[in-house]
């Protein structure tokens, strides 16, 4: 009896002890878990800060018509509200990412268990267990590392987010924050990136594609893996049908539709040199925080039609110049870079340089691949090389320059072979009355060379400097009919060396009027005129007109040895066409923050620097340069255009700068290493055609008005060479403008103001500085 009682007694004791031990262990475990959770909670970010959280926003640049032409960003993100997201976009995300979103409290335990079972039996990760709230917690507050600690923190932050914010607030943040591949953050950026339209404009299939991206955004991107992206989209559509968001029939029909990708996934600027010029200015002045994160809006005067025409004209001109050189394929040192750039080509335009890989060579043709296009180059396409057989020029695997020639009715693409283009150039256009920059092209291809030759390059303008001398002369009593002797002249420099300038044609014409001296760009006339009016006065005139670069204070200044930028000289020429009024160049009209508050606003800064009569008479003289002189190629436009060519003596720099009413444009051509372009490759021959193609594409003759005539100007019909008045009916007479009171009188000659002696006769010897 006692033994039996003893057995139950000890059994009871055992179970009581066991329960006490289990309770003790559970309390220790609970305390440990509580301690761990408490420690994690102390280490977690304050979710209240989410109200003040401001994701990085995209800075946008706007052209003069309000069109966006470039963006600055570290993360491509455009914020929208939840009511701007289509219902099927939301449904697609809920279906594939978190169907229990509106019922769980931040962590979906059922989803975690289900995902664990599915992943266990499949032997791989097929489903994720993270809710939308957890994903948002990870993206905003936590690191992407895959550890147990991070997963615990993710769940804890998600629980706190659900306490502080509504489901719709969390969903809106998520849809604006999640990375969706190809540089796009948020559904609006993704819609524009992949489909070229706003999120609210997407159809159900397009919504499904975007909703399928978050798990593996780079892998599922349709730009990287088209077929994989399509399969992933179809999985989302099937999931939507399974959960009742769309019908099974809709899912099947939508799964058969192709992916219509029309977005600009590379987000390239439509004016890369201009946008980079502005980027540097804004970052230097305001810092990178404002530029890359605050969503500023930058309004500019850029005209996209003119910009496109300028780019096309430069491409065409540099290709034509390069065809005069010995044919070259792309060098091995640059092959990978060039191939990578042009392998992304998705459309073809005429008069644009491309590079493509040779895939097959036959004696009468060879095939090439340019981006997504394949085509042929036939004999007519390489006749400029003066080679008979394709095998004499190229072999399989070569990377060659090409221009698009034709898309035949049978779908065959034909290309013209182009040389490897080494020469560079720039085009710039601005509005003289306001200073607004309308177009800027700083080189052939920004992706290959980011050096901006319209702004950063300082090159010798050659004869393009002469208008500053002639303008100064007109302001100091000279007239278009003043005579200068085109005869040999020499000067002794400070170092004792003799400098004897010469004309381009190596000839001398004796007495020549100023008008003809400018028209024919006679170097001797310019040098003697500079001597007569004084170097200091010419430098002062150039400064007033906008030349800021250092100018050599010697007579050699007449031939343009002082280096200038294309922006400087184009802006200064604009003063002449704008009746003597200078407007400082303006590249930014206004900068606003994301709330519309103005950060910077620029208005035209104008001031008179020349008398209107001087400016008009100078304009009329420069019109003869176009009509009869070194820039005659430009006259084919049949517009009232004035301008001046520029060529350095050794043919290293070629220019043409011209203007008509309220537009001034300049073109520079030259090698970056300053080598010779080629014998007799002048500004009139290689720069003026680029200018002509540019302006001819932008304007029709009836759109360009004649220059207004100031009151203080009169007109006289003169002999072009002597400058003397002739009958209005004279066959050789030209109608020339004069400042009233300075016009030549019949039989009166031209006065002493235009006469000049040679420097040796006048006793002046030291006109050159050291090193000339």
Q: Which of 463, 482, 513, 521 is catalytic?
A: 463
pLDDT of residue 266: 46
Is pLDDT of 750 > 80?
Answer: no
pLDDT of residue 585: 98
Mean pLDDT of 559-564: 95
Say how many CA atoms lie within 13 Å of 698 toward its Cβ.
25
Read off the pLDDT band of 9 (50, 70, 90): low
Mean pLDDT of 544-554: 96
For 601-636, what is each residue's pLDDT tens digit?
999 999 999 999 999 999 999 999 999 999 999 999
Is pLDDT of 661 > 60?
Answer: yes
**Nearest by Cα to 242 from 116, 104, 94, 132:** 94
Q: Tokens 């099927």: give the residue.
A: 88
**Measured CA distances, 49 to 53, 107, 162 (Å):** 6, 21, 14
Read off the pLDDT band of 40 (50, 70, 90): very low
Q: Is the dihedral of CA 500, 503, 504, 505 positive or negative?
A: negative
Beta strands in 728-770 (DSSP E): 734-739, 766-768
DSSP secondary structure string for all residues of 576-632: HHTTTEEE--BS-SEEE-TTS-EEEE----EEE-S-HHHHHHHHHHHHHHHHTSTTG
**Nearest by Cα to 465 from 372, 554, 380, 384:** 554
Is pLDDT of 762 > 90?
Answer: no
CB of 463 closer than 8 Å to CB of 683: yes
Please give the Cα distance from 325 to 677 (Å, whole number): 10
Read off the pLDDT band of 753 (50, 70, 90): very low
Of the given ranges (34-38, 105-109, 349-353, 617-621), which has the lowest mean pLDDT?
34-38
Read off the pLDDT band of 509 (50, 70, 90): very high
Whether 27 is catalytic: no
Q: Is the dihedral of CA 368, 363, 318, 641 positive or negative?
A: negative
**Nearest by Cα to 734 from 721, 753, 750:** 721
Read off the pLDDT band of 293 (50, 70, 90): confident
Read off the pLDDT band of 75 (50, 70, 90): confident
| Pairing relationship of beta strands 491-493 and 766-768 according to DSSP bridges | parallel
Say how many CA atoms lie within 13 Å of 184 toward its Cβ.
30
CB of 690 closer than 8 Å to CB of 426: no
Of the given ranges (163-177, 530-544, 572-586), which has the lowest mean pLDDT?
163-177
Q: Tokens 């203080």: give the residue.
A: 712
Partners of residue 429 on adjacent β-strands: 439, 665
pLDDT of residue 749: 44
Instruction: List, in order, residues 6 or more apart from 148 with CB less than 8 Å away.
Output: none
Is pLDDT of 36 > 50?
Answer: no
Angle at 434 between CA 431 and CA 438, to 5 degrees: 35
Identity of the highest mean pLDDT range in 488-502, 665-679, 750-764: 665-679
Angle at 547 between CA 542 and CA 550, to 5 degrees: 100
Is pLDDT of 118 > 90?
Answer: no
Classify residue 627 by burial, with Cβ atoms within 10 Å: 0-12, 13-18, 19+: middle
Mean pLDDT of 36-43: 47
pLDDT of residue 131: 87
pLDDT of residue 104: 85
| Pairing relationship of beta strands 373-378 and 413-418 according to DSSP bridges | parallel
Identity of the highest mean pLDDT range in 282-296, 389-403, 492-506, 712-726: 389-403
Q: Tokens 């992304």: give the residue.
A: 344
Instruction: List, in order, residues 6 or more apart from 479 with CB less than 8 Å away.
Output: 514, 617, 723, 738, 739, 742, 743, 744, 750, 753, 754
| Pairing relationship of beta strands 437-441 and 424-430 according to DSSP bridges | antiparallel
Read off the pLDDT band of 757 (50, 70, 90): very low
CB of 739 closer than 8 Å to CB of 474: yes
Is pLDDT of 18 > 90?
Answer: no
Read off the pLDDT band of 182 (50, 70, 90): confident
Q: How many CB atoms lie within 10 A of CB 612?
A: 19
What values do phi and psi take at 489, rounded to 5? -150, 150
Is pLDDT of 528 > 80?
Answer: yes
Burial letters for 246-278: b for 16+ Cβ neighbours within 10 Å, e otherwise? beeeebeebbeeeeebebebebebbbbbbbbbb
Output the six-digit token pair for 632.
């005659």
Mean pLDDT of 306-328: 97
pLDDT of residue 26: 54
Mean pLDDT of 586-598: 95
Identity of the highest mean pLDDT range in 115-124, 168-177, 488-497, 684-693: 684-693
**Measured CA distances, 626 to 52, 376, 579, 620 (Å):** 62, 40, 19, 10
Q: Tokens 């000339």: give the residue.
A: 772
Whether 433 is catalytic: no
**Nearest by Cα to 60 from 48, 77, 43, 46:** 77
Output the six-digit token pair for 736.
């020339």
The structure's pTM equals 0.79
Output the six-digit token pair for 687.
């720069």
Angle at 541 between CA 657 and CA 571, to 5 degrees: 35
**Measured CA distances, 392 to 143, 233, 376, 402, 422 (Å):** 58, 49, 16, 17, 21
What is the length of the chain?
A: 772
At residue 440, the 3 state secondary structure works out as: strand
Please give the Cα distance from 419 to 363 (Å, whole number): 19
Output the six-digit token pair for 13.
């004791």
CB of 699 closer than 8 Å to CB of 690: no
Is pLDDT of 324 > 90?
Answer: yes
pLDDT of residue 48: 55
Is pLDDT of 144 > 80?
Answer: no
Average pLDDT across the chain, whole number: 86
pLDDT of residue 763: 33
Classify residue 68 by burial, with Cβ atoms within 10 Å: 0-12, 13-18, 19+: middle
Angle at 499 between CA 498 and CA 505, to 5 degrees: 140
Beta strands in 652-728 (DSSP E): 654-660, 663-670, 713-718
At residue 402, the 3 state secondary structure works out as: strand
Alpha helices in 287-381 (DSSP H): 288-293, 304-322, 332-342
For 154-179, what is each residue's pLDDT tens digit?
677 777 777 888 899 889 989 998 88
Instruction: List, in order, residues 6 or more apart from 25 with CB less than 8 Å away.
Output: none
Read off the pLDDT band of 728 (50, 70, 90): confident
Mean pLDDT of 523-549: 97
Instruction: List, in order, residues 6 or more apart from 749 with CB less than 8 Å away.
Output: 724
Tell me which DSSP letter residue 684 carries: I
Is pLDDT of 541 > 70?
Answer: yes
Read off the pLDDT band of 53 (50, 70, 90): low
Radius of gyration from C-alpha coordinates of the chain: 37
Q: Which of 97, 162, 613, 681 is catalytic?
A: 97
Partners of residue 665 on adjacent β-strands: 429, 658
Output the six-digit token pair for 647.
């060529």
Read off the pLDDT band of 196 (50, 70, 90): confident
């Amino acid at each position: 009896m006692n033994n039996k009682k003893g057995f139950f007694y000890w059994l009871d004791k055992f179970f009581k002890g066991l329960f006490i031990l289990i309770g003790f262990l559970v309390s220790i475990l609970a305390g440990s878990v509580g301690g761990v959770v408490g420690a994690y909670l102390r280490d977690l970010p304050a979710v209240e800060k989410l109200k003040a959280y401001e994701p990085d926003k995209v800075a946008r640049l706007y052209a003069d018509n309000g069109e966006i032409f470039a963006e600055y960003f570290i993360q491509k993100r455009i914020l929208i509200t939840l009511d701007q997201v289509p219902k099927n976009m939301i449904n697609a995300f809920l279906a594939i990412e978190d169907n229990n979103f509106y019922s769980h409290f931040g962590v979906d335990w059922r989803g975690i268990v289900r995902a664990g079972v599915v992943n266990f039996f499949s032997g791989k990760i097929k489903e994720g267990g993270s809710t939308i709230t957890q994903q948002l917690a990870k993206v905003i507050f936590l690191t992407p590392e895959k550890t147990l600690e991070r997963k615990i923190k993710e769940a804890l932050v998600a629980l706190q987010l659900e306490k502080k914010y509504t489901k719709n607030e969390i969903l809106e943040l998520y849809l604006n924050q999640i990375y969706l591949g190809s540089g796009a953050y948020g559904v609006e950026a993704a819609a524009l990136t992949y489909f070229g339209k706003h999120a609210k404009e997407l159809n159900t299939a397009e919504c499904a594609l975007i909703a399928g991206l978050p798990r593996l955004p780079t892998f599922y991107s349709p730009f990287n893996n088209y077929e994989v992206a399509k399969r992933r989209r179809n999985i989302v559509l099937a999931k939507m049908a399974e959960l009742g968001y769309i019908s099974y029939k809709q899912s099947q029909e939508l799964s058969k539709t192709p992916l219509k990708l029309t977005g600009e996934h590379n987000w390239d600027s439509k004016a890369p040199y201009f946008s980079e010029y502005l980027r540097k200015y804004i970052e230097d002045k305001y810092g990178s925080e404002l530029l890359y994160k605050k969503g500023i809006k930058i309004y500019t005067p850029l005209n996209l039609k003119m910009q496109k025409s300028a780019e096309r004209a430069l491409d065409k001109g540099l290709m034509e110049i390069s065809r005069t050189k010995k044919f070259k394929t792309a060098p091995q040192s640059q092959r990978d870079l060039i191939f990578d750039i042009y392998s992304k080509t998705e459309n073809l335009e005429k008069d644009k340089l491309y590079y493509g890989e040779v895939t097959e060579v036959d004696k009468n043709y060879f095939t090439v691949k340019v981006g997504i296009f394949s085509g042929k180059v036939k004999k007519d396409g390489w006749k400029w090389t003066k080679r008979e057989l394709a095998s004499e020029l190229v072999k399989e695997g070569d990377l060659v320059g090409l221009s698009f020639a034709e898309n035949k009715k049978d779908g065959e693409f034909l290309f013209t072979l182009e040389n490897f283009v080494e020469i560079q150039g720039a085009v710039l256009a601005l509005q003289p009355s306001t200073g607004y920059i309308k177009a800027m092209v700083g080189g052939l291809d920004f992706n290959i060379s980011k050096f901006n030759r319209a702004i950063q390059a300082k090159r010798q303008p050659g004869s393009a400097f002469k208008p500053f001398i002639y303008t100064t002369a007109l302001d100091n009593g000279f007239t278009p009919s003043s005579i200068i002797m085109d005869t040999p002249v020499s000067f002794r420099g400070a170092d004792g060396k003799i400098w004897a300038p010469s004309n381009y044609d190596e000839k001398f014409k004796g007495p020549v009027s100023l008008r003809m001296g400018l028209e024919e760009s006679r170097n001797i006339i310019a040098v003697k005129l500079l001597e007569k009016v004084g170097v200091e006065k010419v430098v002062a005139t150039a400064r007033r007109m906008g030349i800021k670069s250092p100018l050599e204070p010697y007579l050699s200044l007449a031939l343009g040895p002082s280096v200038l930028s294309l922006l400087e000289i184009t802006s200064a020429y604009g003063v002449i066409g704008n009746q003597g009024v200078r407007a400082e160049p303006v590249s930014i009209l206004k900068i606003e923050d994301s709330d519309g508050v103005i950060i910077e606003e620029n208005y035209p800064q104008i001031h008179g620097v020349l008398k209107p009569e001087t400016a008009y008479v100078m304009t009329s003289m420069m019109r003869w340069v176009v009509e009869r002189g070194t820039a005659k190629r430009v006259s084919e436009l049949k517009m009232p255009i004035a301008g001046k060519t520029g060529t350095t003596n050794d043919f290293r720099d070629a220019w043409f700068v011209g203007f008509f009413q309220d537009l001034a444009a300049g073109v520079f051509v030259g090698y970056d290493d300053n080598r010779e372009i080629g014998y007799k490759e002048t500004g009139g021959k290689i720069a003026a055609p680029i200018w002509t193609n540019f302006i001819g594409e932008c304007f029709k003759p009836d759109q360009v008005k004649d220059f207004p005539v100031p009151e203080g100007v009169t007109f006289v019909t003169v002999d072009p060479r002597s400058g003397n008045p002739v009958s209005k009916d004279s066959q050789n007479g030209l109608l020339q403008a004069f400042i009233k009171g300075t016009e030549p009188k019949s039989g009166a000659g031209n006065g002493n103001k235009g006469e000049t002696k040679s420097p040796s006769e006048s006793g002046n010897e030291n006109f050159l500085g050291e090193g000339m």
